[in-house]
Every structure is written in C-alpha cells, then in structure tokens.
C-alpha cells in the first residue's frame, strides 16, 4: 500500500508540474507572443506592433535633407518615438534619393515613409510605386478641408491621394522699409504701383547701378506673373498657353521695368561679388522670395528692417503666386503601411505636432488648424504668406511640364531679357519648343 501511495503521489506531482508548465507557456504568449501584454496589440492591420516578443515595429524614413534639415526631421522622429512604444521610426539620409527609391521599388528594400517633393506625384504615381491613402483618411476621419486644396491636388493622381502635405510655400514681395520710407512710397499692391515704386527707389551713379528698385533676375517666375496677367501655363488638352496677350503683357511689363525705367540691370547681383546679398546690404529695394528666407533676414535685426506684402495684382486685378512644398508618402513596397500611416497622421494631421514641426523648421505646415496658433496669427511676417497661399496655384500636373518650362520656355525668356529676341519671337519659339516637349513627355515612362 505504501508503494501504491507513493506511485499515486508521484503521478499527482507530475500532472501538477505539467499543468504549471502549460500555464507558463500561455502567460508568455499573452505578454508578448500575441501582443496582448505591455500595451501592444496584435496585427499590423491596425497600425500597432505585430513583432514577435512585443518588440516595436521598425520603420525606415528616407529623406534627402541633411544638415539643419536632418536635425529638424530627427526632432519629429524622436518626439513620435517617445509618444508611444509600438513603432520606432529611423530617419535615413539618402543622396540621389529618387534613383535609389525607384531601384528599391523593383528590387526590394523600399523605405516605409518617403520625403516627397509634391510635383513629382504625377510622374511617379502612374508607376505604381506609391500607396494611396484615401482609405486611411476615410477610416480615421481625417478631413481634407483641414489641408490646402492645391497641396492635396498636387499629391493626387487619377482620383487617388498619395500623401499629406508637410510644408506649403509661395513667393511674396519683400521690401526694405528704410528705402521705401526715404523714397516716400508705399508697398505696392498692383503692377502700376510696383513700377512707380521701383522707379523712385532706383539709384544710378552715371552708368553704375547703385540701388536696384526691383529684381528681375529670375525669369523662372514667369508662371506667377502669367497668373497675375490672368493667364495659365498650359491648356486642359496639354498644350502651352502663354503665346497670347496674357504672356505678352508679362514680357512688356518686364521690358518697361528693365529697359524704359531701368530699375534693374542683368547680372546686377553677380556684379557685387561672391557672398554679397543685395537685399541685406540695401542694394535691392524689393524682390520676390519665399518664407524660407525669413530666418536668414531676421538674423540681421535692426540692420535690415524689412516688410512683406502679397504679390501685386496684375492689370485686371488678377492675383497669382505659385504654391510649392513637400509632403510625406508611403511607398507601395513598404512592409508596414499601416504603421507608416500612423506616423504620417501623427505628424501632419495633428495640430500640436504640426505646430511643433513649424516651430522646429520655421516652415508653414500643410495642416491649416495649426495656423490658428499665435505663433502664426500674431506674427506680421507670416500674415502675407498665409494670405498669398489662399490664391496661390500649383504647377500644372502634366508629366512633361517641368521639362517644357526648363528646356523650352526659360531659355527663350533669357534671350528676351538679354535683348536677343523680341517678346513675340521669344514666346513663339517657346511655344514651338514647349509643345514638342509636352508631346514627347506626355506619357510616363
């Protein structure tokens, strides 16, 4: 009987140990294996950690901003990583980023988030290398009205949205307050006022231009002037639309300023020597530039007392400026699309985080609710840009537009400014070359 009791006791002990071992395995899985413990939840479909052992999902964020830009990106990445424990993002600086991205899209190794120059969307979305976010937007109740419509348009192709805007920008007119006060002129609001002010602000010493009233150095701003003249760059059926009365009015205006009023001299900036900023040194009274110059100009304090106004309206009251900027997109090759969306949504569709980005980078965020903060609302330097962004338009979304502008239009505009072509000849040649380039680049290759 003693032996039988010993055997029974042994069997009970073995069963108990077996039960304890089984419970131990279930507890281990619950705390990590199936994502129920430690604040994690399973499945990458809900944007939360699905890694084994409860480890966070690791995302790669590619961008080509180094230096201060890299530090700004890393500030946002660190803030996101500290905000939760399910996802970890790492910023990776890439040179020649687009080439590497296209290679990775076909051979593997694609990043999860990509810093994106928005105008590229119409070029690369047809290649199926970007992932649409419409479903995420609708599911999470993200309103498109909270973003600049033109910026979302630039991130769209064939009815699908491929990202959210990170920054928005547009040119506005910077002016030297001291010079305008001395000349007795007000900041201009129309072309006529701009011309009159520029004439009064210009100073010549014999054949030497000492102070230019207004810069005409960048013929690449033709699109902006054309909008102010009531025109558009290309037609709906993909042909150039500037060899007309609107385009001629722009070149006539430039000709008046350059050759009749002599408010500027070709190559004026370069003639002052390397490293000389004509606006900072008071050699240029007015010029067009964007919000990216605010931090630079503010550094000079009282040495440079400047103001900003929206671009002056054209002859018939039309207003125009070109909206640019960047966005964040999800590559189709990302293995963690839901988690990538969580990061993008946290950064670009949240007022506090969009504002943190604005204060970190001194860029205008694409999320409009952030602009209601006193950081923007109470700063007179931001106000003219916010006003300009309300009427600014993006560049045409034709795949061949950038080639047409750079290779077909701008060279002929430069010949006009140098006096080698008349206005009619310049626009005629630009139309001929531009239409050919638009045809040749109409299909995305």
Which residue range(s) make up the domain with 214? Answer: 172-322
Specify whether 245 is located in the same domain as 161.
no
In a domain, 417, yes or no: no
Neighbouring-strand partners of residue 204? 209
Q: Do residues 198 and 288 lie in contact, with contact meaning Cβ atoms separated by under 8 Å? A: no
Specify whether 63 is located in the same domain as 163.
yes
Q: Do residues 89 and 119 lie in contact, with contact meaning Cβ atoms separated by under 8 Å? A: no
13: its two tokens: 């002990």
Q: Is the CA virtual torsion 378, 384, 389, 394 positive or negative? A: negative
> Measuring CA to CA, which residue among 310, 206, 202, 205 is closest to residue 256?
202
The contacts found for 379-387 with CB under 8 angstroms, 24 or more apart, are: 380/307, 381/294, 381/298, 381/308, 382/291, 384/172, 384/308, 384/309, 384/310, 385/169, 385/170, 385/172, 385/290, 385/291, 385/308, 387/310
In a domain, 255, yes or no: yes
98: its two tokens: 């687009």
CA distances to 263, 286, 442 from 201, rounded to whole Å, are 8, 9, 45
Specify whether 87 is located in the same domain as 132.
yes
Domain boundary among 374, 389, 404: 389
Total number of domains constituting the chain? 2
Specify whether 231 is located in the same domain as 242.
yes
Q: What is the pLDDT of residue 3?
A: 37
In a domain, 215, yes or no: yes
Domain boundary among 305, 322, 339: 322
CA distances to 83, 181, 197, 325, 382 from 290, rounded to whole Å, are 33, 23, 21, 11, 11
218/203 Cα distance (integer angstroms): 21
Specify whether 185 is located in the same domain as 252.
yes
In a domain, 445, yes or no: no
Q: Do residues 186 and 180 lie in contact, with contact meaning Cβ atoms separated by under 8 Å? A: yes
Q: Residue written as tokens 């839901």?
A: 338
Domain boundary among 306, 322, 338: 322
In a domain, 288, yes or no: yes
Specify whether 305 is located in the same domain as 187.
yes
Specify whether 304 is located in the same domain as 184.
yes
Pairing of strands 113-117, 57-63: parallel
pLDDT in tens, the chain (445 residues): 333 344 333 433 334 434 333 333 333 333 333 232 333 333 334 434 444 458 999 999 999 999 999 999 999 999 999 999 999 999 999 999 999 999 998 888 999 999 999 999 999 999 999 999 999 999 999 999 999 999 999 999 999 999 999 999 999 999 999 999 999 999 999 999 999 999 999 999 999 999 999 999 999 999 999 999 999 999 999 999 999 999 999 999 999 999 999 999 999 988 665 567 899 999 999 999 999 999 999 999 889 999 999 999 999 999 999 999 999 999 999 999 999 999 999 999 999 999 999 999 999 999 999 999 999 999 999 999 999 999 999 999 999 999 999 999 999 999 999 999 999 999 999 999 999 999 999 887 6
Specify whether 62 is located in the same domain as 132.
yes
Specify whether 384 is located in the same domain as 288.
no
Q: What is the pLDDT of residue 108?
A: 86
Q: What does the angle CA 121 – CA 390 – CA 201 come to, to the nearest 5 degrees? A: 110
Neighbouring-strand partners of residue 88? 58
In a domain, 428, yes or no: no
Q: What is the pLDDT of residue 53?
A: 59
270 class by beta-carbon count within 10 Å (0-12 exposed, 13-18 middle, 19+ buried):
exposed
60: its two tokens: 């790669």
369/349 Cα distance (integer angstroms): 9
Q: What is the CATH number of the domain that holds 273?
A: 3.40.190.10
191: its two tokens: 């072309």
Specify whether 260 is located in the same domain as 353.
no
Specify whether 125 is located in the same domain as 89.
yes
Specify whether 83 is located in the same domain as 138.
yes
In a domain, 187, yes or no: yes
Pairing of strands 87-93, 57-63: parallel
Q: What is the pLDDT of residue 106?
A: 85
71: its two tokens: 């530090």
Neighbouring-strand partners of residue 89? 59
Q: Residue written as tokens 């699908």?
A: 160
Q: What is the pLDDT of residue 42?
A: 32
444: its two tokens: 């995305």
CA distances to 35, 274, 287, 413 from 271, rounded to whole Å, are 66, 8, 17, 21
In a domain, 42, yes or no: no
Query: Residue ranges of the alpha helices (H) in 175-324?
Result: 177-183, 191-201, 222-228, 245-255, 294-298
């Amino acid at each position: 009987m003693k032996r039988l009791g010993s055997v029974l006791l042994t069997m009970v002990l073995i069963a108990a140990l077996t039960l304890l071992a089984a419970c131990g395995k279930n507890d281990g899985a619950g705390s990590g294996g199936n994502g129920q413990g430690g604040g994690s939840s399973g499945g990458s479909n809900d944007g939360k950690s699905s890694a084994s052992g409860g480890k966070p999902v690791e995302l790669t964020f590619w961008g080509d901003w180094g230096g201060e830009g890299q530090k700004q990106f890393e500030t946002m990445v660190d803030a996101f990583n500290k905000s939760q424990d399910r996802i970890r993002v790492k910023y990776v600086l890439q040179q020649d980023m687009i080439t590497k991205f296209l290679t990775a899209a076909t051979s593997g190794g694609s990043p999860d988030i990509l810093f994106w120059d928005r105008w590229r969307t119409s070029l690369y979305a047809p290649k199926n290398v970007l992932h649409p976010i419409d479903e995420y937007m609708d599911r999470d109740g993200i309103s498109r009205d909270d973003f600049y419509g033109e910026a979302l348009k630039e991130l769209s192709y064939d009815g699908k949205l491929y990202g959210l805007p990170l920054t928005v920008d547009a040119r506005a007119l910077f002016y030297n307050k001291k010079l305008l006060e001395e000349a007795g002129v007000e900041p201009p609001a129309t072309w006529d006022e701009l011309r009159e002010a520029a004439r009064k602000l210009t100073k010549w010493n014999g054949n030497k231009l000492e102070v230019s009233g207004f810069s005409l150095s960048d013929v690449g701003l033709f699109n902006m002037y054309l909008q102010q003249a009531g025109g558009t760059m290309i037609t709906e059926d993909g042909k150039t639309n500037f060899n007309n009365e609107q385009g001629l009015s722009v070149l006539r205006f430039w000709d008046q300023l350059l050759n009749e009023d002599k408010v500027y001299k070709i190559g004026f900036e370069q003639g002052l020597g390397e490293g000389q900023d004509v606006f900072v040194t008071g050699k240029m009274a007015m010029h067009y530039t964007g919000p990216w110059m605010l931090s630079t100009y503010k550094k000079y304090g009282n040495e440079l007392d400047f103001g900003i106004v929206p671009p002056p309206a054209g002859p018939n009251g039309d207003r125009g400026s070109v909206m640019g900027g960047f966005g964040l997109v999800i590559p189709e090759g990302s293995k963690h699309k839901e988690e990538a969306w969580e990061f993008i949504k946290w950064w670009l569709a949240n007022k506090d985080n969009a504002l943190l980005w604005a204060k970190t980078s001194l860029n205008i965020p694409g999320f409009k609710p952030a602009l209601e903060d006193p950081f923007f609302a109470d700063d007179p330097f931001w106000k003219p840009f916010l006003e300009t962004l309300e009427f600014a338009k993006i560049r045409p979304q034709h795949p061949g537009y950038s080639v047409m502008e750079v290779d077909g239009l701008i060279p002929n505009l430069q010949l006009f400014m140098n006096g080698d072509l008349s206005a009619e000849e310049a626009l005629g040649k630009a139309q001929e070359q531009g239409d050919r380039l638009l045809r040749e680049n109409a299909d995305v290759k």
